[in-house]
Amino acid sequence: MKAIRSRDNALVKHWHALAHSARDRRKSGQTLLDGAHLLRAALDAGCPFEAVIVSESGLEQAEISGLCAALPPGVQRYLLTDALFRHVSPVDTPAGVLAVVQPATVLVDEGGGILRPESLIALDAVQDPGNLGTILRTAAAAGIRRALLGEGCAHAWSPRVLRAGMGAHFALRIEEGLDLPARLAGYPGVRIATALGAGARPLYDLDLRGPVAWLFGAEGKGLSRELLACADQRAVIPMLGAMESLNVGAAAAVCLFEQARQLRSR
């Protein structure tokens, strides 16, 4: 394990850029995985690591030292002082271990082509990294295997989204930067928009036992008119209390697990 102690080191500057700059992540084709849980999920999924970075205090933790020992041969290992590790960490409370990966190498994605008759989520301008990661995590937990992200979404492979996703990225086929109406054209299931409007029906009245493309938009703006226009149905979640709406992450959880409930009981 190579020790690095200077901020002027070229690798330290590169890792800091990956942690804090979406432009640098896209330019390099790399991102950072943060924390032992996420690294373990990536290892279990067969994700190749380019490098692993550990803090001095992190190396003293049994979970992290065991993880380092389990790395495949050839993975570069670097040891940083705690202060230097905080400098390159993408979060305020560093977990003590990071990994450098290329998102393109871990996507389980056929890429483009005609969408198969399977349920999926399509996200329109979900810009908050925490919300995006939560939705991806919820989708994976509910048995969804594909996520389509429109151009206005946060970068799915940013460290904050990865942290919120808790390993969901390695269970999903993720496409980013899409023209969603065009990508969903010809989808062989029903496209359901979570939105008010003419013809909107309560979620619990819908038959969700077949393939569904769930269309979720960001809070405030909601779904774009173009994406709403391609929906086959509109669904509303009945509100029993005083609130008029739910956070998009909560709304996605209600919808996806209602579908999972119907599929389980059929």
Domain boundary residue among 106, 136, 166? 106
Half-sphere exposure of 60 (CA within 13 A, CB side): 5
What are the φ and ψ backbone dihedral angles of 28, each rounded to 5 degrees? -85, -20
Domain that holds residue 213: 120-265
Domain limit, last residue, from 76, 106, 136:
106
Q: How many domains does the chain have?
A: 2
Residue range 174-216, pLDDT digits in tens? 999 999 999 999 999 999 998 877 788 999 999 999 999 999 9
pLDDT tens string 173-185: 999 999 999 999 9
Cα(234)–Cα(150) distance, integer angstroms: 19
List the one residue out of 1, 137, 122 whose CA is nearest residue 56.
Answer: 1
Say which CATH number the domain at 11 has.
3.30.1330.30
Whether 161 and 221 map to the same domain: the answer is yes
The phi and psi torsions of 162 (rounded to 5 degrees) equal -60, -40
User: Is the torsion defined by CA of 250, 256, 262, 265 positive or negative?
Assistant: negative
pTM exceeds 0.75 for this model = yes
Same domain, 259 and 136: yes
> Is 150 within 8 Å of 125 (Cβ atoms)?
yes
Task: Specify whether 259 is located in the same domain as 131.
Answer: yes
